[in-house]
């Protein structure tokens, strides 16, 4: 079969439902063949980072690989930052990039879009992908495609597939039946016995759960473990919305000491099970005292270290399921914990808007994904408890949320709500114009305080954080959407209802906040982070 058919078969095998991309000369033959077959919808955006953000969001929301098609050099290298974010945040992204044909390389001329050498694209991507394959041999092409997609799915990391311009004429064969990795039962039994001993010796265990519990399909197993043993659990910022936030044993998000209940739990615990946690400076640098080495067990996908023994082949799903089968007695009831006060009453702020949004969405029977960009809107999003939420909560690259909305609606059909500051909107906001092409209708809430909040929080004396007013509601209307500007909660309530009712086009609500306003959570986070960095 032709290479394109082998590629499509493998993408479908691993759950890819759509493609995202930007055409360029080295991938035009591939785009033509994909268009002719029309087996997977292809969504175009305007800028390579945005195309990657959209595919990244499709992968996060579906928990399956997603693919993005980019041209050689100028396209793929322009996407490096967005792919790097997917790598460190464990997103199964498949980057399909163009490459020069053998004949072009043999001419001995420097090729347009080439960096230092013809191989620079692959060399750079080695730093931000778990696997790199080049389909330059027809006999191996099918096997190489399988290797890349298998790696993306099993490791939940980005991979690179380079397709030379002339490879579209290759005939190749499929790799054969796919078999998921087998669990080494002897190692599993040893690890479970060791973990069981640790739990039996504890009196006040707590679970700190991260996003990898969702990435590797172990959410129900973790919640079952908490129920079976009566262990409270909290989540990291990246793990928010990975779990049922109404679960009776869920104690909220731990970001810093402002999170009273999770902090109290971690402080009092004699055993902390960190399950599926990506350990980042944003969560841990300023709060190392809460995680003494002797009280912490780090349980990661295919990586569990228990004293002198390390297990490298145990999936989170299999390990937690085996723990649930041990029938250990539950721990004694947990003490009542302090509730956090609501300090937003009467104030018009990003946090108050999110609280109101959360209340309104909770009244609906429909599932509404929330996508937050980085910045003050991310800290405001802590006031919501959505069942589905996406945010680049570690790598923190601005501009994610608007193109992510395209990816989310493409893969789920659900209308997302986007939380984005004016600074991040300036980076990728014009991608909203593509929503008209695809019939997508996200609701975008732009918090406009004419300032780069995150920068100002970390460097208050820096004199470059002011942003002019770009009239975002007017921009929305010029792109074919519904644009509204609000100055108080009453106006926001009306605008939100209009947006929810307007299902045929996107809506943008420009929330006009006092200049320089930001959440206290962002200020507290910045102070703690700077103090830890200075140590």
Mean pLDDT across the stretch 187-215? 96
Q: Which domains does the chain have, with CATH numbers?
A: 3-169 (3.40.50.970), 185-324 (3.40.50.1220), 350-526 (3.40.50.970)
Answer positive or negative: Cα dihedral of 202, 207, 208, 209.
Answer: positive
Window from 46-50, 95-99, 359-363, 415-419 with minimum mean pLDDT = 359-363
8 Å CB contact between 286 and 531? yes
Per-residue burial over 308-331, b if 16 or more Cβ lie within 10 Å, else e, is eeebeebbbbbbbbbbbeeeeeee
For residue 400, the SS3 value is coil
DSSP code, position 181:
P
Distance between CA atoms of residues 366 and 57, nearest Å: 20
Give kind and range of the element (H or E) at residue 421: strand 417-421
For residue 380, the model assigns a pLDDT of 92
For residue 404, the SS3 value is helix
Residue 277, C-beta contacts closer than 8 angstroms, at least 6 positions apart: 208, 209, 210, 212, 236, 239, 283, 298, 300
Distance between CA atoms of residues 31 and 12, nearest Å: 17
Residue 372, pLDDT above cutoff 70: yes
For residue 459, the model assigns a pLDDT of 83
Window from 86-95, 258-267, 501-510 with minimum mean pLDDT = 258-267
Per-residue pLDDT band at 364 (split at 50, 70, 90): confident
Residue 425, pLDDT above cutoff 50: yes
Mean pLDDT across the stretch 358-377? 92
Residue 355, C-beta contacts closer than 8 angstroms, at least 6 positions apart: 342, 344, 383, 384
Residue 159, pLDDT above cutoff 80: yes
8 Å CB contact between 177 and 113? no
DSSP code, position 424:
H
Long-range contacts of 177-183 (CB under 8 A, 24+ apart): 178/13, 178/14, 178/146, 178/150, 180/154, 181/154, 181/313, 181/315, 183/313, 183/314, 183/315, 183/318
Residue 356, pLDDT above cutoff 90: yes
8 Å CB contact between 215 and 209? no
Nearest-10 crossing angle of helices 401-412, 48-62: 50
pTM beyond 0.75: yes
For residue 318, the model assigns a pLDDT of 97
Window from 128-142, 323-337, 414-428, 520-534 with minimum mean pLDDT = 520-534
Least Cα distance to 24 among 115, 89, 96 occurs for 96
* CB burial of residue 63 (10 Å; 0-12, 13-18, 19+): middle
In terms of pLDDT, which residue wins out, 526 or 394?
A: 394
Distance between CA atoms of residues 459 and 348, nearest Å: 25
Q: What is the mean pLDDT of the chain?
A: 92
Window from 136-145, 203-212, 240-249, 435-444 with minimum mean pLDDT = 240-249
For the beta sheet containing 159-164, the strands, ordered from the edge strand earlier in sequence to the opposite edge, are 42-44, 19-21, 66-70, 93-99, 159-164, 132-134
Residue 465, pLDDT above cutoff 90: no
For residue 516, the model assigns a pLDDT of 67
For residue 301, the model assigns a pLDDT of 96
In 306-374, where does DSSP find H-type helix? 316-324, 350-362
Mean pLDDT across the stretch 142-171? 97
Model confidence pLDDT, tens digit, residues 210-263: 999 999 999 999 999 999 999 999 999 889 888 888 899 999 999 877 788 899
Residue 88, pLDDT above cutoff 80: yes
Residue 512, C-beta contacts closer than 8 angstroms, at least 6 positions apart: 448, 485, 486, 487
């Amino acid at each position: 079969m032709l290479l394109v058919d082998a590629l499509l078969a493998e993408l479908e095998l691993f759950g890819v439902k759509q493609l995202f991309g930007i055409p360029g000369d080295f991938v035009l033959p591939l785009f033509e063949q994909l268009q002719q077959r029309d087996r997977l919808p292809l969504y175009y955006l305007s800028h390579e980072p945005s195309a990657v953000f959209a595919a990244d969001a499709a992968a996060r929301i579906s928990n399956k690989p997603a693919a993005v098609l980019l041209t050689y050099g100028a396209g793929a290298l322009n996407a490096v930052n967005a792919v790097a974010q997917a790598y460190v945040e464990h997103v199964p992204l498949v980057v399909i990039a163009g490459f020069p044909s053998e004949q072009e390389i043999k001419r001995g001329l420097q090729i347009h879009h080439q960096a230092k050498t013809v191989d620079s694209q692959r060399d750079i991507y080695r730093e931000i992908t778990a696997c790199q394959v080049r389909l330059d041999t027809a006999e191996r092409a099918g096997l190489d495609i399988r290797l890349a997609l298998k790696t993306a799915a099993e490791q939940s990391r980005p991979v690179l597939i380079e397709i030379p311009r002339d490879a579209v004429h290759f005939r190749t064969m499929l790799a054969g039946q796919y078999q998921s990795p087998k669990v080494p039962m002897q190692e599993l039994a040893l690890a479970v016995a060791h973990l069981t001993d640790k739990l039996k010796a504890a009196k006040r265990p707590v679970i700190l759960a991260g996003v990898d519990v969702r990435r590797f399909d172990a959410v129900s197993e973790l919640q079952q473990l908490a129920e079976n043993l009566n262990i409270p659990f909290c989540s990291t910022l990246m793990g928010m919305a990975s779990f049922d936030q109404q679960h009776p044993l869920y104690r909220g998000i731990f970001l810093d000491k402002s999170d009273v209940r999770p902090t109290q739990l971690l402080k009092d615990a004699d055993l902390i099970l960190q399950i599926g946690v990506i350990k980042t400076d944003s969560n841990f640098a300023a709060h190392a005292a809460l995680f003494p080495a002797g009280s912490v067990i780090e349980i990661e996908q295919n990586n569990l270290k228990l004293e002198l023994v390390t297990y490298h082949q145990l999936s989170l799903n299999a390990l937690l399921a085996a723990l649930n089968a041990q029938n250990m007695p539950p721990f004694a009831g947990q003490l009542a914990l302090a509730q956090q006060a609501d300090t937003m009453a009467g104030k018009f702020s990003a946090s108050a808007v999110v609280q109101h949004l959360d209340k309104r969405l909770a009244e609906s029977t429909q599932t509404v994904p929330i996508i937050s960009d980085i910045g003050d809107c991310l800290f405001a999003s802590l006031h919501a408890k959505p069942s589905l939420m996406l945010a680049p909560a570690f790598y923190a690259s601005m501009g994610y949320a608007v193109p992510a909305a395209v990816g989310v609606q493409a893969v789920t059909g659900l209308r997302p709500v986007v939380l984005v500051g004016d600074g991040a909107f300036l980076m990728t906001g014009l991608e909203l114009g593509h929503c008209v092409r695809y019939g997508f209708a996200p609701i975008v809430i732009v918090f406009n305080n004419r300032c780069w909040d995150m920068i100002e929080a970390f460097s208050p004396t820096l004199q470059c954080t002011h942003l002019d007013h770009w009239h975002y509601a007017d921009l929305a209307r010029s792109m074919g959407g519904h644009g509204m500007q609000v100055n108080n909660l009453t106006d926001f309530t009306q605008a939100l209802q209009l947006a929810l009712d307007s299902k045929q086009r996107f809506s943008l609500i420009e929330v006009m906040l006092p200049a320089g306003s930001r959440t206290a959570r962002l200020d507290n986070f910045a102070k703690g982070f700077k103090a830890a960095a200075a140590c």
